[in-house]
Amino acid sequence: MNGFDESFVLRASGTIVRCCIELGLSHPKPALLPDVPRIFAFAIEMLLLLAAASATEQELKILRDSVSLSAEQIADAHAIGMKEPDRVRLLCVETVLRSTQPQLRATCDAINFFTLATLGLTLGYGTFIGLDRWGDRLLVVHEFADVSQCERLGGILPFLRRYLFECLTIGYAAAPLELEANALTARVCVE
Ligand SMILES: [Zn+2]
């Protein structure tokens, strides 16, 4: 990940400095300033690998314990542009639980992503849906849009790389991937 501009470093520095500390790197000192983008890039790559490993583990859990899509849901998945709806599994959970990794929790806190209010979460072809929203078409179709983005970008790691970059620089609510998923959901659900 190259080409950090100053505004990126400013926006992301709080999170990344915390992550550097969690990863056992010392707080970047002024004397190290020329190295800061390199340290940040390293910290982000470490975070990505942790996030992708955790997401893959969760995906396997969902694929093991869950249900496949109904005929109506498969039609919605096709409408959103998903290539392989047959691979998707939904798992109903009381609450969508965060990773226990301290670095990932710190990142989620810093970008206000994956809070207690998170109702659904997609990891590869596995989707958690909170019990209260099981059968909520708008939420499920939004998760399908995330699956389809993951397919398009080439899997969990490239998807998370782009997603994390957008959340760190622009913020979760205005992240282009989220806006695209919301627009696709609105289009499919009013058809
Ligand atoms: Zn989303």
Q: What single letter denotes the amino acid at residue 121?
A: L
> Measured in angstroms, how far is the CA atom of residue 161 from the centroid of ligand 1?
14
pTM: 0.77
> Measured in angstroms, how far is the CA atom of residue 113 from the centroid of ligand 1?
10
> Measured in angstroms, how far is the CA atom of residue 43 from the centroid of ligand 1?
24
Tens of pLDDT, residue by residue over 142-182, are 999 999 999 999 999 899 889 888 877 777 788 999 999 99
Tens of pLDDT, residue by residue over 27-82, are 545 555 556 666 667 777 777 888 888 888 889 888 888 999 999 999 999 999 99
The span from the CA of 51 to the CA of 26, in Å, is 21
Tell me what pLDDT residue 17 has. Answer: 58
> Measured in angstroms, how far is the CA atom of residue 122 from the centroid of ligand 1?
8
> Measured in angstroms, how far is the CA atom of residue 66 from the centroid of ligand 1?
20
